[in-house]
Amino acid sequence: MSSVILSYILFALAIATGLTSVRVIAGNGKKRKIDYAIISTCICSSWWSFFWAMLFAQTDPEIAWLMRAIGMLGVFAFLISVTYIVVFWSGLEGIRKKCILGFSLLAILVYPLNVQRAGSKFYMTDFGMSYEFESGLGSNLYSIYCIGIIICLVLALMYMRKNSVRRRERVLSMELLLCTGVVAFGSVLDTIMPTFGFTAFPGSTLAQSIGALVLFEAYTYYNKSQITLSNISKFIYYSVDEPILLFDEKEKLCIVNNGAAVFLEKTPEECCKLEINDIFDLNSNIFRLKGDKNQIEARCVLNQSICSLSIDKIYDEFHEIMGYIIIVHDMTERIQTMHQLEEEKMKADQANQAKSRFLANMSHEIRTPINAVMGMNEIVLRESEEAETVEYARHIQDASKTLLALINDILDFSKIESGMMEVVEEAYSVRSLFTNLYTEIQIKTEDKGLYLNFEIPEDLPTILCGDEVRIRQVLMNILSNASKYTQKGGVTLTVTWKNVGEKQIELQVAVEDTGIGIKEENMDKLFGAFDRVDEERVHTIEGTGLGLSIVQRLLELMHGGITVESEYGKGSVFTVTFRQKVINPAPIGILMEKAGNQKKHEKYVPSFRAPEGKVLVVDDNKVNLTVIKGLLRKTGMQITCVERGQDCLEMTKKEHYHIILLDHMMPEMDGIETLEKLKADESNLCKDSAVIALTANAIAGMRDMYLEKGFTDYISKPVEGVVLEKILKQYLPEELVKGTEES
């Protein structure tokens, strides 16, 4: 009876450990080496328990011996598997790992010696069939093997314990030590004691079963401490701040994460009592949307938040819907930020528009009186025969140009700051550029007794493409500074160039002076806005401190650059570099010889005469009308002046004018409105006439704006006589233009 009960117990242990291996096999995910080792351990334990039970039930010693021999396969395999598991978890590497695993594999040699029939005695006891061993090679080797395995396992676990840095590793080492101890104790009862004449008792099978279960517990604990798809998914679900709602196939909310509970301001239990329409204001059933993945926007009923909902359908292995997962993105703050950004952008646009209006008004209000001053003064210079009066007029001219330069600097800086400065590339004459620069700066240097040298290579291409106005502004600014800050010696401009591509050259213009120079500590301030270096020495010299700042930014717009070398008290060298397209590669030849022979002041001679040419000038400022008439007097043209747009419309019904100079900023009807009505008036006799905008608005983009509005061309105030004559000559019929009486 006792043998039957004990057999049932062993069969139960075999089944228990066998089912444990099934649990490992059925686990999700791809199997690892450690998984196979645990499975092997459980199967081996079940194997040994089963054949021990069979051994108990036998009455024939020969069959009992066979049952033990087969069952011992499980014992040796169990010890090898346990050794691998301990070595794997302990982290042993190198020779120590190889030695321990190699020792465990000696089971292959020990097994056939241990299960020999000779030397073993099987007989019936009160508990069933059992056995004893006579001392011999097989039994002794087996005892040594078992003791050696136990020692190896203990050493490996001591190593693991010593090198453990985490609590989970120490817990795992203790569980493995417990398993080793149980297996060692059980092995004594039915593997080692029979060699000393004691009856074998199924202690090892009990120990292996317990050890296998302990190993499975350690394995479970180990898996919990590792990153797996299951635990990381759970961690992410509950830890992310984004609200996540999980609905079952009946569309009932069953699980919420912490983020959802915080968002809805309810406990998870309270959340799960809500329907989808209790949470969101929806126009349709979001679970009935097409596709497996959808995104919609909705307002949360509970807190009035504006949300973006990501909806995913969840399917089982039969591709049937088992639920829905909704990830809630709170868009309230983002939408508020977008509204704020839009408001700020609108305010910035309004500020820019206000700045543009201010620049236009400043340009108009300042340039209009300057136009009168400079225009009247130019008429005096042209017509006065008194040397003293001419001298006074020249001083007025110099002062006016200085004032205009200061105003232009301020307006240019404002245009650059507001992004309104533009670069307009057109073909220009290199000869004209440098000749005009030389002529203009020569007046300033001669007044101070300074020399002026322009060193221009004769092979420099004749016609280039770029923004001549801005290039002239850059070079004139540097040349003016050089002459202003130089009291003795002089100024030298040197041009060098090189090809940098097909029809493209790089120009390098260096301006060297023998002036006051710049201190090392002031070099960083040189290009600052409104910043004048060495103020104590230069406070008597006119200037805003904007010139070099504008130069630098203009060069940046033209993809160029500027460098400075200076020695305090001895002078400076400013070098600008920029690229230009080549239109005509023909060399300019000798340039400065002709320019240097030009007179400082020449008697005015009109560039053309057109006695039959008729020009209508429309401007609300009487002084400006007087200036235009005075500047054009010697051309002989017939000039008619009116002060209102309505008067312009009336005059064009009565007479044909070849050119109309039309001011923009006028009361009642401005220039643009006047032009529109001119074009629409069927009785207008000047439909084919050139209409040129005459305006004090000199901000960026004005030329393009006037051309888009229908003007033929554009002249900015203050008007220079030479420029005015040039543009009128361009648009007058050729048959009306005659040569001048004076040569």
399: in domain: no
Choose between 409 and 623: higher pLDDT. Answer: 623
Average pLDDT over residues 577-581: 93
Q: What secondary structure does DSSP assign to 506-562, as a single string?
A: EEEEEEEE-S----GGGGGGTTSTT--SSHHHHTTS---S-HHHHHHHHHHHTT-EE
Q: What's the distance, CA 418 to chain centroid?
A: 24
Judgement on whether residues 463 and 529 belong to the same structural domain of the protein = yes
Average pLDDT over residues 107-130: 82
Judgement on whether residues 453 and 589 belong to the same structural domain of the protein = yes
Q: What secondary structure does DSSP assign to 390-451, as a single string?
A: HHHHHHHHHHHHHHHHHHHHHHHHHHHHTT------EEEEHHHHHHHHHHHHHHHHHHTT-E
**How far is residue 516's CA from residue 532's CA, in Å, rounded to a whole number?**
14
Count of C-beta atoms within a 10 Å radius of residue 476: 17
Q: Could you tell me which residues are beta bridge partners of residue 715?
A: 694
Judgement on whether residues 135 and 271 belong to the same structural domain of the protein = no
Which pair of structure tokens corresponds to residue 279?
Answer: 């949470």
Q: Which of 61-75, 152-166, 217-231, 629-643 has the lowest mean pLDDT?
A: 217-231
Measured in degrees and rounded to the nearest 5, phi and psi for residue 280 equal -125, 145
Choose between 596 and 657: higher pLDDT. Answer: 657
Judgement on whether residues 65 and 168 belong to the same structural domain of the protein = yes
Query: What CATH code is carried by the domain that includes residue 250?
Result: 3.30.450.20
Domain boundary among 296, 330, 364: 330
Please give the pLDDT value at position 541: 44
* Rounded alpha-carbon distances, angstroms, from residue 610 to 70, 385, 638, 674: 130, 25, 8, 27
Judgement on whether residues 620 and 557 belong to the same structural domain of the protein = no
Asked if residue 159 has pLDDT above 90, the reply is no
**How far is residue 705's CA from residue 231's CA, in Å, rounded to a whole number?**
67
* Residue linked to tokens 């290009």: 527
> Rounded mean pLDDT of the chain?
82
What residues have CB less than 8 Å from 671, skipping those under 6 apart? 618, 645, 662, 663, 664, 665, 693, 695
**Across 219-233, 416-430, 533-547, which has the greatest mean pLDDT?**
416-430
Q: What's the distance, CA 422 to chain centroid?
A: 27
Please give the pLDDT value at position 122: 83
What residues have CB less than 8 Å from 222, skipping those under 6 apart? 34, 89, 172
Query: What CATH code is carried by the domain that includes residue 491?
Result: 3.30.565.10
Domain with 702 in it: 614-736
Choose between 164 and 273: higher pLDDT. Answer: 273
Q: Calculate ∠ Cα 435-440-446, nearest 5°.
A: 110
**Are the C-beta atoms of 445 and 451 separated by less than 8 Å?**
yes
Judgement on whether residues 460 and 555 belong to the same structural domain of the protein = yes
Choose between 543 and 318: higher pLDDT. Answer: 318
**Are the C-beta atoms of 689 and 657 separated by less than 8 Å?**
yes
Kindly indicate the confidence band of residue 728, based on its pLDDT and cuts at 50, 70 and 90.
Answer: very high
What residues have CB less than 8 Å from 692, skipping those under 6 apart? 659, 660, 661, 662, 711, 712, 713, 714, 715, 727, 731
**How far is residue 505's CA from residue 502's CA, in Å, rounded to a whole number?**
8
Please give the pLDDT value at position 178: 80
Asked if residue 150 has pLDDT above 80, the reply is yes
Judgement on whether residues 60 and 187 belong to the same structural domain of the protein = yes
340: in domain: no
Choose between 135 and 60: higher pLDDT. Answer: 60
**How far is residue 86's CA from residue 81's CA, in Å, rounded to a whole number?**
9
Domain boundary among 288, 315, 330: 330
User: How does pLDDT run across 15-68, given as a tens digit for each residue?
Assistant: 888 887 787 777 655 677 888 888 888 888 888 888 878 887 888 888 988 988
345: in domain: no
Judgement on whether residues 220 and 75 belong to the same structural domain of the protein = yes
583: in domain: yes
What residues have CB less than 8 Å from 289, skipping those under 6 apart? 296, 311
Q: Which of 541, 540, 452, 431 is nearest to 494 (CA)?
A: 452
Average pLDDT over residues 84-94: 85
Asked if residue 421 has pLDDT above 50, the reply is yes
Kindly indicate the confidence band of residue 651, based on its pLDDT and cuts at 50, 70 and 90.
Answer: very high
What residues have CB less than 8 Å from 257, skipping those under 6 apart? 237, 238, 239, 240, 243, 244
Asked if residue 698 has pLDDT above 70, the reply is no
Please give the pLDDT value at position 650: 93
**How far is residue 481's CA from residue 360's CA, in Å, rounded to a whole number?**
28
Please give the pLDDT value at position 538: 45
402: in domain: no
Average pLDDT over residues 250-266: 88
Kindly indicate the confidence band of residue 462, based on its pLDDT and cuts at 50, 70 and 90.
Answer: very high
| Strands 461-466 and 426-429, bridge-based pairing | antiparallel
Choose between 155 and 234: higher pLDDT. Answer: 155
Judgement on whether residues 254 and 208 belong to the same structural domain of the protein = no
Judgement on whether residues 315 and 464 belong to the same structural domain of the protein = no
Is cis: bond before 611, omega within 30 of 0? no
Query: What CATH code is carried by the domain that includes residue 729?
Result: 3.40.50.2300
Judgement on whether residues 221 and 300 belong to the same structural domain of the protein = no
Domain boundary among 185, 204, 226: 226
Asked if residue 413 has pLDDT above 80, the reply is no
Q: How many domains does the chain have?
A: 4
Kindly indicate the confidence band of residue 599, based on its pLDDT and cuts at 50, 70 and 90.
Answer: very low
Asked if residue 268 has pLDDT above 80, the reply is yes
Choose between 675 and 149: higher pLDDT. Answer: 675
Please give the pLDDT value at position 598: 46
- Residue 724 is inside which H or E element, if any? helix 721-731
396: in domain: no
Please give the pLDDT value at position 605: 83
Asked if residue 519 has pLDDT above 80, the reply is yes
**How far is residue 543's CA from residue 592's CA, in Å, rounded to a whole number?**
29
**How far is residue 647's CA from residue 645's CA, in Å, rounded to a whole number?**
5
Judgement on whether residues 94 and 67 belong to the same structural domain of the protein = yes
339: in domain: no
200: in domain: yes
For 228, counting Cβ atoms within 10 Å of its Cβ (0-12 exposed, 13-18 middle, 19+ buried), the class is middle
Please give the pLDDT value at position 594: 46
Kindly indicate the confidence band of residue 492, based on its pLDDT and cuts at 50, 70 and 90.
Answer: very high
Choose between 455 and 190: higher pLDDT. Answer: 455
